[in-house]
């Protein structure tokens, strides 16, 4: 195969290709395959205009596309003025535990909700779920089932009927075979997607959002938490911002679902094992997450060591 590659050229710029790694690119929309060099990564597909991705990246974007359907921006909005205004943002994921249907995010979003409520008035601020850039579902704070934001526990569970998630937001509900899952383990290969830049452009009812994702490795595990760093060499922090600004910081990822990738690389077997709670430093070099199994099937949250 390497002999063939030596004689192959990039279908975009015409440069000879060095290795198989920079050869096979696939359109994430129509699945057209083409030969592309590293510097022509992200070239547009000549058939449908979609983005082209090299081999490993393609796997990740298919995973991202799959997970994306289960998530929304978890926004806090000022609703006492017209137009309503986004104030703060995180990420939420829709989960059916088998017992209840939940939107899950980081607990500090609820702290922020009450801080903003004190500042502007309780009725002036509302939770709004923004999915796919177009639909906003406002959520009454009485729908919050449980939350915590201290001692490394940082989670909130909100009751959202499945019907609203599917029919109104146009999203899907993640329904694992069993719940709760096992702890994250040292060296797990993980993938998370969230909304780092939150709502990037805003007109009432027509927000522009783009997800950001990270392929990472679990580098340490404690009773309630684990630490993720970007997987180097093999991959990098990838942004699928598609023409919008690239987020410089992971703020907004709070609450994003963390999936364990099986060693066979099968994306169907990716398992929800955590929720991002914090990016403690500037940039994207570390994310902290809570184990997903802190959320009980009824939506209550475990708040102390087992």
Chain contacts with Zn ion (rule: CB under 5 A): 10, 12-13, 27, 29-30, 32, 37, 40, 45, 47-48, 50
Which H helix or E strand runs over 125?
A: strand 125-131
Q: Which is nearer to Zn ion, 13 or 300 (CB)?
A: 13
**Distances in whole angstroms, Cα of residue 66 to Cα of each of 60, 128, 158:** 10, 22, 22
Q: Which is nearer to Zn ion, 50 or 180 (CB)?
A: 50
Do 64 and 211 meet the contact criterion of CB atoms below 8 Å apart?
Answer: yes
- C-alpha 276/C-alpha 238 separation (Å) is 17
Do 193 and 147 meet the contact criterion of CB atoms below 8 Å apart?
Answer: no
Residue (of 200, 205, 228, 194) closest to 64 by Cα position: 194
**Cβ at position 57, least distance to Zn ion in Å:** 15
Q: Which is nearer to Zn ion, 240 or 284 (CB)?
A: 240
Q: Which is nearer to Zn ion, 29 or 175 (CB)?
A: 29
- Give me the residue label for tokens 């205009």: 49
Do 209 and 133 meet the contact criterion of CB atoms below 8 Å apart?
Answer: yes
**Cβ at position 235, least distance to Zn ion in Å:** 20
**Distances in whole angstroms, Cα of residue 199 to Cα of each of 104, 123, 203, 207, 234:** 19, 22, 10, 6, 30
Residue (of 254, 241, 268, 281) closest to 177 by Cα position: 268
**Cβ at position 9, least distance to Zn ion in Å:** 8
Q: Which is nearer to Zn ion, 27 or 199 (CB)?
A: 27
**Cβ at position 41, least distance to Zn ion in Å:** 9
**Cβ at position 20, least distance to Zn ion in Å:** 15
**Cβ at position 18, least distance to Zn ion in Å:** 11
Residue (of 225, 212, 197, 213) closest to 261 by Cα position: 213
């Amino acid at each position: 195969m390497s002999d063939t590659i030596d004689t192959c050229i990039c279908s975009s710029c015409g440069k000879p290709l060095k290795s198989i790694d920079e050869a096979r690119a696939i359109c994430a929309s129509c699945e057209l395959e083409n030969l592309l060099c590293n510097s022509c990564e992200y070239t547009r597909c000549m058939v449908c205009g979609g983005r082209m991705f090299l081999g490993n990246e393609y796997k990740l974007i298919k995973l991202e596309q799959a997970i994306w359907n289960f998530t929304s921006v978890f926004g806090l909005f000022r609703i006492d003025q017209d137009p309503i205004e986004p104030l703060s943002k995180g990420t939420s994921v829709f989960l059916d535990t088998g017992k209840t249907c939940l939107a899950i995010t980081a607990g500090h979003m609820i702290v922020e909700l009450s801080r903003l409520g004190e500042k502007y008035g309780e009725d002036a601020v509302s939770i709004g779920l923004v999915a796919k850039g177009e639909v906003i579902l406002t959520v009454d704070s009485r729908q919050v089932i449980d939350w915590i934001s201290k001692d490394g526990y940082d989670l909130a569970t909100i009751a959202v009927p499945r019907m609203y998630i599917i029919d109104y937001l146009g999203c899907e509900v993640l329904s694992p075979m069993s719940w709760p899952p096992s702890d994250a383990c040292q060296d797990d290969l993980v993938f998370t997607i969230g909304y780092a830049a939150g709502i990037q452009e805003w007109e009432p009812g027509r927000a522009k959002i783009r997800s950001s994702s990270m392929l990472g490795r679990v580098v340490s595990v404690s009773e309630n938490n684990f630490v993720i760093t970007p997987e180097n060499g093999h991959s990098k922090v990838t942004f699928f911002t598609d023409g919008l600004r690239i987020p410089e910081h992971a703020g907004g990822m709070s609450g994003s679902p963390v999936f364990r990738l099986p060693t066979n690389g099968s994306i169907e077997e990716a398992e929800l094992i955590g929720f991002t709670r914090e990016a403690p430093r500037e940039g994207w070099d570390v994310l902290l997450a809570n184990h997903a199994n802190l959320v009980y099937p009824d939506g209550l949250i475990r708040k102390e060591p087992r």
